[in-house]
Structure 1
Amino acid sequence: MELTGFLRDYPIPAGTQEQIVKCLWDVAKYEPLASYFEYYTEQCRIALYAQGLQKFAKTHQHILDIASHLQNGSSRQVLKQHLALHHHGENPLETENMCDALIDLAVRLILMLDVGELRNAFSGRRRLVWVDGSLQEFVRDIFSDKISLNHDGVRFGAPFTARNLDRITGFRVELTTNLADHLRLRSENKIVSVFHHASFLRCQQKNTMFPDGFIEETLWTLALLFPQGDRDTEKWYYKQDRPEELDLGVLDCGILRDDYRQIEKYKFWHDRLVILKGAFDECQPQTFSQLWNDRREGTQWYALWVAIGITLFFGLIQSIEGAVQVYKAYHPSP
């Protein structure tokens, strides 16, 4: 069944959403993906109005046809030649630019990767440029399993959560729609990017664009950062964005076994996890709020606050005694 709904339409009807998901990822059972379709709509809006694709792509079917070619292994150059036969601009350069923009839009919608240059638009994020070869080769080059950093003694304890990264270390956790930015730490502005679209990831089980084991490992990292059943993490997550932008599936990634808290289990995200864990361990609280929330060393935390409580108590006693002495000095007994 052809999807004749217009890309510019918002919101996308539920039935159309289901058809899009089944066409893109061949899922056996459809579950609503509200946060993904916020992303889908935003990407289409940017492409239509910032890149001028209105006359080249009008319906969802136009994009799904391109996605089908990509998933069948078509190279970028072959697909561009095919599109150029059906999409003619005012000149060859415009035709080429529009074909590139159409392909990049389809890639972003299939994989949630910031691929392509956005003319007349600024995202503030590092973009990926796919020039040639198959899309699968491009994706597997981005998500390499090559390990560069030493990981001696790295283990992820219960305090290693997205909320604690935000509340204790002074880093700002930024929820991202760009899978390539997941777990990226930008030290210069203390921002940690976290790709939180767990429901999207669960739809990728049959997607051979990604390396074997990559999707499962990414879901493990989300189970680390968003521990299932942790009320503090849930409350924190609900405050991070508009409800329609949040993917509540990230709070239901399962409870990790102990061996999945060992760095040896991770290869695709290994180096970023090592960097992030090192920064997490090294950061010391700078404010009273951070000090209160820092329970990485539970025994030390309780000892600290007991000591502070005792100090305040005796300080109060001394203040009262001093006040009594001053009062007696000005009001001597007869």
Structure 2
Amino acid sequence: MSSLDNSLFDEVPLEIKPLAVDHLWGQQPSHFVFHEDKPNLDAYFDSYFKYYAQQCDLIGRHENGEYSSVETHIDIMTIAHLLQQPLTRAEVRKHMTDVLKSTNITQHDNSINLVARLMLMIRIGGVPHEYSKGEYLEWKEGDLREFVHIHFAAPSARARDRIKLEKSFNALNVQRIGGIKIWWTDNLADHLRMMDDDKAVFIFHHGSFLEHQLHNPMFPPCFIEETLRTLMLLFPRYNPGIKKWYQKEVAKSACGLDKRLIGVGNLNAEERQSENFNYWHDRLVILKEVYDEARPNTLSQFWYDRRNGPQWYTFWVALWVLVLTIVTIVLAVVQCVEGGLQVYLAMRA
């Protein structure tokens, strides 16, 4: 097996990707396979390692490696082991000084942010040269696990009324009926956040990453399972329309969308209740409200918007009657003109 001592400027070799994720997340049980029954990590973590390479470019390789103190992939794994322990940020920096070549505190802080991002897929720490529409989290106090648990355990600000999230409430309809753009994100903290004056929503697309984190103690209890259920809600497995649409999204995407997203599962009627969501409750309710309040503005939206059946049928029957009336009038005018022309030509003959 190849070594993790490869330079950060080199991509993680194919054969050691399983070893790399074991270092980053611990040995998590994988309970599924990807396309063509390939049980190895590379088959269903292709999108994750694209993210890994992007973050290494952004932080680890920036300014020819002078922006951070990591030089090899094993340096990343070393810091990951430190972050998995109950150590404060200052304590992690101290240990890094002992095991890495650099003693530069700023470089160490940038390296900590890089590794935390790779472990959690959460944008930890701001990067001056990073452009993103989303937000980042600033970790200062406590250990990393405690910070993540506190952030996602914030209490709901909205009343926890029983709101049914109908089958029609899915990602495809949110876009084509609600007129809400979907912004794919690699930042778990941005998931379901409404943006652009409620005209866009972030969706975290890394279903394969989430399925591998179900037993990761770095995340709060049941948080990953609930996040997966939000994806099951918005991307139900057995909806052929969504599958076809998402495959087109994957084909045209430059960010490496996770193909596993549309295979994570399905929710039944009882599971599609807002009260079943704790961590994502408020964001789901806000998205549902914006979706419900949206009114169609184009013929395409009118065609797909069947939330109110009688209204939909009334509109299209009225439109059909209008079209037939216009056609009838046009034909009558044509006949009148044709008749007048015939009379005129007969008088001239």
**TM-score, L = length of structure 1:** 0.91
Check if 1:238 corresponds to 2:251: no
Check if 1:23 corresponds to 2:23: yes
Alpha carbons of structure 1 residues 324 and 156: separation in structure 2 relative to 1, 3 Å: same
- Does the 8 Å CA contact 1:50/1:121 hold for their aligned counterparts? no
Amino acid at match of 2:146: E
CA distance in 2, matches of 1:243, 1:120: 20
CA distance in 2, matches of 1:35, 1:292: 34
2:34 alignment partner in structure 1: none
Deviates more, 1:108-117 or 1:283-292: 283-292
What do you get for the CA RMSD once the two structures are aligned? 2.1
Match of residue 276, structure 2, among 259, 265, 269: 265
- The total of aligned residue pairs comes to 329
- Does the 8 Å CA contact 1:155/1:262 hold for their aligned counterparts? yes
Deviates more, 1:54-63 or 1:177-186: 54-63
Counterparts of 1:91-240 in structure 2, within 5 Å, are 95-144=104-153, 146-152=155-161, 154-188=163-197, 190-240=199-249
> 1:157-207, CA deviations, whole angstroms, 9 ceiling, x for partnerless residues?
111111111112222100100000000001526110000111000111121
1:62 alignment partner in structure 2: 75
CA distance in 2, matches of 1:41, 1:60: 11
CA distance in 2, matches of 1:318, 1:149: 55
Identity score, percent: 36
Amino acid at match of 1:180: A
Q: Secondary structure at the match of 1:237?
A: helix
Deviates more, 1:107-116 or 1:324-333: 324-333
Amino acid at match of 1:31: L
- Does the 8 Å CA contact 1:185/1:193 hold for their aligned counterparts? yes
Match of residue 41, structure 1, among 34, 53, 73: 53
CA distance in 1, matches of 2:337, 2:264: 63
1:322 alignment partner in structure 2: 333
Q: Displacement of 1:114 after TM fit?
A: 0.5
Q: Displacement of 1:9 after TM fit?
A: 1.6
Q: Secondary structure at the match of 1:192?
A: strand
Deviates more, 1:291-300 or 1:251-260: 291-300
Alpha carbons of structure 1 residues 20 and 86: separation in structure 2 relative to 1, 3 Å: closer
CA distance in 2, matches of 1:322, 1:147: 64
- Does the 8 Å CA contact 1:151/1:274 hold for their aligned counterparts? no
- Does the 8 Å CA contact 1:24/1:64 hold for their aligned counterparts? yes
Q: Displacement of 1:272 after TM fit?
A: 0.4
- Does the 8 Å CA contact 1:50/1:120 hold for their aligned counterparts? no
> 1:256-279, CA deviations, whole angstroms, 9 ceiling, x for partnerless residues?
111111111011000001111000
Q: Secondary structure at the match of 2:166?
A: coil
2:35 alignment partner in structure 1: none
Match of residue 297, structure 1, among 289, 308, 322: 308
CA distance in 1, matches of 2:64, 2:99: 17
**TM-score, L = length of structure 2:** 0.88
Match of residue 91, structure 2, among 52, 56, 78: 78
- In structure 1, stretches of 5+ residues that fail to align are none
- Does the 8 Å CA contact 1:53/1:98 hold for their aligned counterparts? no
Alpha carbons of structure 1 residues 78 and 294: separation in structure 2 relative to 1, 3 Å: same
> 1:218-250, CA deviations, whole angstroms, 9 ceiling, x for partnerless residues?
011001111112122122222334377111211
CA distance in 1, matches of 2:21, 2:310: 49
Alpha carbons of structure 1 residues 243 and 104: separation in structure 2 relative to 1, 3 Å: closer
